[in-house]
């Protein structure tokens, strides 16, 4: 099964007033990273607010020579294909992705393809802190290189979190076909020899020794029960 984990960086919280400036996508097949990724920056056609700049560090100067979204849309659509799309707080990222697609006249992505890791995490860890950083800590995923938010880096971290949220990597049943099973010919096997039965009844010597021992027991409990 092919899935795409993705993340976006934007100029703010509301598409229209705000725009997408970065997207990072990671391909999973059977919940294993294939190494295929898609990453692009976009010119937002507006100035970068200081609050957003503090989150991802993408300045107006850095984005000045980056393409507009519509110039990269075809390549992005081809990479995504018809795979389910996974994001953390996915409605936010879907809002901007579909907003940009609609703005340049492309078909938007059906929300039925959306998988929200935040919703999954709330079910698995109710009441816990569920940011990407917190989930990385919970699952022992190294995020030491994450100083600022970055769409591709965050998508790569989220891909690992998603696998853990789904139960971790497991060996598929398809691997059974790679096993070599040795057939056993029961008719050709050596006949099994039955062992003689073992006798556990006490010998006369053991009974005599037990009786002698019992005469030395003072005020036995079984004697009190018998007299009662």
Q: Which residues are annotated as a binding site for a divalent metal cation?
A: 7, 9, 154
Q: Which residues are annotated as a binding site?
A: 7, 9, 56, 154
The helices-and-strands tally (H runs, E runs) of the chain is 9, 5
Sheet arrangement for strand 114-116: 32-41, 20-29, 2-10, 85-87, 114-116
Q: Could you tell me which of 139, 121, 138, 132 has the C-alpha nearest to residue 155?
A: 132
Which one from 88, 145, 149, 210 is the annotated catalytic residue?
Answer: 149
Q: 149 an active-site residue?
A: yes
Paired with 33 in beta bridges are: 28
| Alpha-carbon gap, residue 170 to 162, rounded angstroms | 14
CA angle centred on 158, ends 99 and 122, rounded to 5°: 90
Task: Calculate the CA 104 to chain-centre distance.
Answer: 34
The sign one gets for the Cα dihedral 73, 113, 25, 37 is: negative
Q: Which residues are annotated as a binding site for substrate?
A: 7, 9, 56, 154
Task: State the catalytic residues.
Answer: 149
């Amino acid at each position: 099964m092919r899935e795409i984990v993705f993340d976006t960086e934007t100029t703010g919280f509301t598409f229209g007033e705000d725009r997408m400036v970065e997207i990072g996508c990671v391909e999973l097949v059977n919940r294993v990273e294939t190494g295929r990724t898609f990453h692009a920056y976009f010119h937002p056609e507006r100035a970068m607010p200081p609050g957003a700049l503090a989150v991802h560090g993408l300045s107006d100067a850095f984005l000045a020579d980056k393409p507009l979204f519509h110039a990269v849309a075809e390549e992005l659509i081809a990479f995504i294909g018809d795979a389910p799309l996974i994001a953390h707080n996915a409605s936010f990222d879907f809002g901007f992705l579909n907003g940009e697609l609609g703005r340049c006249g492309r078909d938007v992505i059906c929300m039925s393809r959306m998988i929200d890791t935040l919703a999954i995490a709330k079910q698995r860890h109710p009441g816990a802190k569920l940011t990407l950083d917190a989930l990385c800590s919970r699952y022992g995923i190294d995020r030491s290189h994450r100083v600022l938010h970055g769409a591709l880096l965050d998508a790569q971290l989220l891909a690992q979190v998603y696998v853990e949220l789904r139960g971790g990597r497991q060996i598929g049943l398809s691997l059974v076909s790679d096993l070599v099973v040795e057939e056993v010919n029961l008719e050709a096997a050596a006949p099994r020899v039955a062992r003689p039965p073992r006798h556990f009844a006490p010998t006369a010597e053991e009974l005599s020794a037990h009786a002698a021992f019992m005469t030395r027991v003072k005020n036995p409990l079984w004697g009190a029960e018998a007299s009662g």
